[in-house]
Structure 1
């Protein structure tokens, strides 16, 4: 009897231990897949594994997985300095954590089949400061890191373990990336709408520190290209570009009559023209500095082979035949401002029973050249419309500290705090008539000061 009790006691203890063991195993597996914190663990080392000079190698769109041609953008990281996408900090705080790569991407809203996943676990480095700088970088290997930014997946390759001191000094001069309220300017070039003769104006709105913003205006479209400036204007006989904007000489002219400018950047210009003899409307895009009939760009020049395929897909979706498309049609496209963004427009020419029909179509093109310099913002259209119901267009500064809102009557600047637009504008300038945006640029720090100086030269000469 004594031995039977001992046996049953041993069995009971064993069963109890087994239950406890199963509980912890099941608990571990359960939380492994349900608790986001379980995929995070601090790595054993906190060495600054992301320090150095990094060069952008590829950009992948997270919406469709397409590859976007990489720019010359660089990333600089040291213990005391970080600079990325024209934003920086001299007081970075680093945090390192090890995560499950796939879970991390899913948690950040990334469809994982768009991204190559070569490893299960990665180290994520979070960098922040006491103001408004925050970025996360994924360590893919010792010479490759990635980040999710602006609905795109960026991959950087290491070029050096260090950052040249001269680069740090140069970028540190751009104090608006560290203190965005130092000096920031906004150039907006507009054209008249609903008038017989189209005219062009550029407004410069400057906010220097805590001073009240100021606005100045000149005739023509004024552009800053890496602190080298040029002016663009048009009349019924020509469209011209000049860097001698004081004397208005040395003009590079494009002999397109009855043309209006729809889009302008530091590198490209898009025109819309009308031929009264043939009753044809035409779009065109040219590269600045190469203005001539021979330099008119095609869809392939702007968007590559994928752009040509997208063009034909758009045509087929609209029910048109692509059999009669020629080189002229592939160049008959341009850029216009529509619904708060730049869009590509094309003209499709159809011939049927000796009748000519011209149709304007929207083109779903992804440029592989740096034609658009503006970035998207976290400030939504709905939020802006709630603040200003009659908004025609709006523009948020790169550091998201101010927003410029265009209506039919005026241009106003508002401050932004915690992604909320202030109730009242800090500045408003009136418009004589309705305007449509042709070009816009944000500049800051030294660039803002130089832009203002050159702009005032033109204003005085006017």
Structure 2
């Protein structure tokens, strides 16, 4: 090999060596939705002494006062492998940092506007603290001196008051004392789950096949809870007891009958429990124009109710006063809880945007020629939709009314869009529907807690509570109560952590409850 060739080989080798060094220092792009950030120079992300400031919440003051009083002003201390809080100390602590999308992280954790937390960035750094592989707490970074503490989905501001702590004097939580550790963490973490389950049941004798007698329904709310590895009693109260951002509300369907008995109509009433019955601000007061030329029965049944909206089916039948001909009605509407007197309901595009409107347009275009509605515009069809339960989830359906000769004909179609948060705040099934049906063939519906610790299974005539362990259902139900045949679920509102005991106390205090056996 000549000198020139030898020099060329040396230059190539040097260039390759430098390129490898440069690429070794380069950062490989990772999906920002959840990116693990390696520790740098063994720095402790939260090293030092911190003080818990105010409670961040959208709930009414009386619902979070206890949490705020319990934790405000408490001290948290961190070293390389130790965490201390409120007189207790965990050793063998490790920290994991990940970058997650802000909206995705808070999707089912915090119902208020994220801006209220002082977070403006698209992505956030979330630090998870664990002790001997047992989860303790999560922390969201605002800046080097300000964090947000996530304690069982209750959020507190955390501010640094000292950069370093040499000695932590708090009592150590022994690694071997599993029971003590469980109780300590369970009190403050995800060991408690509670469910307000709204039930619609046909009243006895009202399931007539005759369209002239639309079915009449009654409503009840069940309270199902799980804490400290034990199920609580399943409690029942009449009516719908709804948990909202503004506090607890009561929703009722009442019957109004005319003096001559020729007109029967259901009315929906919704009001905060902080108001008296007679002060109910949101009441469906009926439509005099509707009955001007008719007599008969108009029932309004709740299909779904959430924090802000109610899906309602209006079904009626009777005769026209002048001609004696029959009339029928079978409509779907979605009403704001704050305005149940709204006659027409909201449009699907109000909550699902242009995608909802396009789904309606496509359904109309796909109708057979003889099913094409007469004289009805897109606006009317946009208002005809509702939520239904199927295979453990809420689904959206639209309805096209085809009126012919006074009879009510309609065509239902699926809207293949996930209900937005404005309609359904939480709708996650942590087990596959196939797995549930394989284990419980009679299952008609299922709900799983945000903590992934319990599942509520609904069958034709029972409600069963199962424990979830390592992503699997327990061998058999840990609780089982009877359910009226034909009953269906219209509401499912979950609480976790310290909110479970709060909700239970309010549920018992505000209702005439009975324990179900």
Secondary structure, aligned partner of 1:241: strand
TM-aligned CA deviation for residue 80 of structure 1 = 5.8
Other-structure match for 1:298: 347
Mark the runs of 5 or more structure 1 residues left unpaired by the alignment. 56-78, 82-88, 102-121, 143-159, 165-174
Other-structure match for 1:275: 316
> Structure 2 matches for 1:243-392, cutoff 5 A?
243=271, 249-251=278-280, 252-254=282-284, 255=286, 257-276=298-317, 277-294=326-343, 296-317=345-366, 324-350=376-402, 357-365=409-417, 370-392=422-444
> Structure 2 matches for 1:12-411, cutoff 5 A?
46=43, 48=45, 93-96=94-97, 127-130=128-131, 131-132=134-135, 178-181=188-191, 183-192=192-201, 195-196=207-208, 197-226=216-245, 227-235=247-255, 237-243=265-271, 249-251=278-280, 252-254=282-284, 255=286, 257-276=298-317, 277-294=326-343, 296-317=345-366, 324-350=376-402, 357-365=409-417, 370-411=422-463
TM-aligned CA deviation for residue 238 of structure 1 = 1.8
Closer/same/farther in 2, CA of residues 127 and 17 from structure 1, 3 Å limit: same
Distance 1:14 1:293 in 2: 84
**1:377 and 1:400 in contact (8 A); partners too:** no
TM-aligned CA deviation for residue 414 of structure 1 = 1.5
Secondary structure, aligned partner of 1:358: strand
Other-structure match for 2:81: none
TM-aligned CA deviation for residue 234 of structure 1 = 4.5
TM-aligned CA deviation for residue 371 of structure 1 = 1.7
Mark the runs of 5 or more structure 2 residues left unpaired by the alignment. 31-35, 57-74, 78-84, 102-122, 145-156, 162-184, 209-215, 256-263, 288-297, 318-325
Distance 1:95 1:136 in 2: 10
Cα deviations across residues 6-55 of structure 1 (Å, max 9, x unaligned)?
Answer: x79x978986996798699799989x999x9xx98665685749x999x9
Closer/same/farther in 2, CA of residues 41 and 388 from structure 1, 3 Å limit: same
**1:46 and 1:96 in contact (8 A); partners too:** no
Closer/same/farther in 2, CA of residues 449 and 95 from structure 1, 3 Å limit: closer
**Normalised by the size of structure 2, how large is the TM-score?**
0.57
Closer/same/farther in 2, CA of residues 354 and 282 from structure 1, 3 Å limit: closer
**2:128 and 2:135 in contact (8 A); partners too:** no
Secondary structure, aligned partner of 1:240: strand
Distance 2:338 2:240 in 1: 15
RMSD of aligned residue pairs (Cα, Å): 5.2
Closer/same/farther in 2, CA of residues 224 and 351 from structure 1, 3 Å limit: closer
Closer/same/farther in 2, CA of residues 18 and 242 from structure 1, 3 Å limit: closer
Distance 1:123 1:358 in 2: 48
Work out the number of aligned pairs and report it: 379
TM-aligned CA deviation for residue 348 of structure 1 = 1.2
TM-aligned CA deviation for residue 299 of structure 1 = 1.8
Secondary structure, aligned partner of 1:379: coil
Secondary structure, aligned partner of 2:512: helix
Secondary structure, aligned partner of 1:448: helix
Closer/same/farther in 2, CA of residues 14 and 293 from structure 1, 3 Å limit: closer
**Normalised by the size of structure 1, how large is the TM-score?**
0.63
Distance 1:96 1:405 in 2: 36
TM-aligned CA deviation for residue 199 of structure 1 = 2.3
Other-structure match for 1:151: none
Cα deviations across residues 313-371 of structure 1 (Å, max 9, x unaligned)?
Answer: 34335567799524322212222222321122222134799998521112234556622
Distance 2:230 2:223 in 1: 15
TM-aligned CA deviation for residue 377 of structure 1 = 3.7
TM-aligned CA deviation for residue 97 of structure 1 = 8.1
TM-aligned CA deviation for residue 437 of structure 1 = 0.8
